[in-house]
């Protein structure tokens, strides 16, 4: 497959792995330096879309390069759950999520030259009820500390998830089906 030059504007190892899994093996990484600020009146889907666009505009590129940016956030009752500041904060988040549904939203932007396309995906994640001892054990392993919502669905955090409605890969940080549909609009077909 003859593919345009792809730039992944993300330092996330999970996003890098997902690009490789869907057949994009040759890409450059450029991590944007952006303050994640957004207007107060935006919906969860609009927040991640806004930040994804800001990240895209912060990445220098040539006109022949296709730049991919994404921003993923976890929302419980429309309130953002960021990365935990310490183990007590991780326990607070995981306790709040226990036995409940929350939403993972990812904004994706694909840009080539002046042309830019932004879309978002939302996935509902249902946590089983978990005992505090289980949550403390999970936190002690360290996995929650650099993850929005204090869990990683691709690791031991999967043991807390009862079910998922929507794109599983969105919960990992990159909705690959949505991305493939967007890339097709830029002439990149992954299944051909």
**Active-site entry in 71, 78, 89, 146:** 71
Q: Are 174 and 108 in contact (CB under 8 A)?
A: yes
Nearest residue to 105 (alpha-carbon basis) of 125, 123, 84, 117: 123
- Give CA–CA dist 15/55, Å, rounded: 15
- The number of beta carbons lying within 10 Å of the beta carbon of residue 175 is 29
Residue 48 dihedral angles phi and psi, to the nearest 5°: -65, -35
SS3 154: coil
Question: In the numeric block, which tokens belong to residue 144?
Answer: 């929650």
Q: Are 145 and 91 in contact (CB under 8 A)?
A: no
CA atoms within 13 A on the CB side of 189: 4
- The number of beta carbons lying within 10 Å of the beta carbon of residue 100 is 13
Note if 89 is an active site residue.
no
Which residues are identified as catalytic? 71
């Amino acid at each position: 497959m003859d593919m345009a030059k792809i730039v992944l504007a993300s330092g996330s190892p999970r996003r890098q792995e997902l690009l490789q899994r869907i057949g994009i093996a040759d890409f450059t990484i450029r991590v944007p330096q952006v303050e994640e600020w957004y207007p107060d009146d935006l919906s969860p889907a609009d927040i991640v879309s806004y930040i994804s666009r800001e990240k895209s505009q912060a990445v220098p590129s040539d006109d022949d390069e296709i730049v991919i940016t994404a921003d993923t956030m976890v929302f419980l009752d429309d309130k953002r759950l960021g990365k935990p500041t310490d183990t007590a904060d991780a326990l607070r988040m995981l306790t709040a999520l226990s036995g409940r549904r929350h939403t993972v939203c990812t904004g994706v932007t694909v840009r080539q030259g002046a042309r830019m396309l932004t879309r978002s995906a939302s996935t509902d994640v249902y946590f089983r009820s978990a005992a505090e001892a289980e949550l403390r054990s999970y936190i002690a392993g360290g996995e929650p500390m650099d993850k929005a919502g204090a869990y990683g669905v691709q690791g031991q955090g999967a043991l807390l998830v009862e079910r998922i409605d929507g794109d599983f890969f969105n919960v990992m940080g990159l909705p690959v089906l949505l991305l493939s549909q967007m890339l097709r609009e830029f002439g990149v077909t992954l299944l051909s």
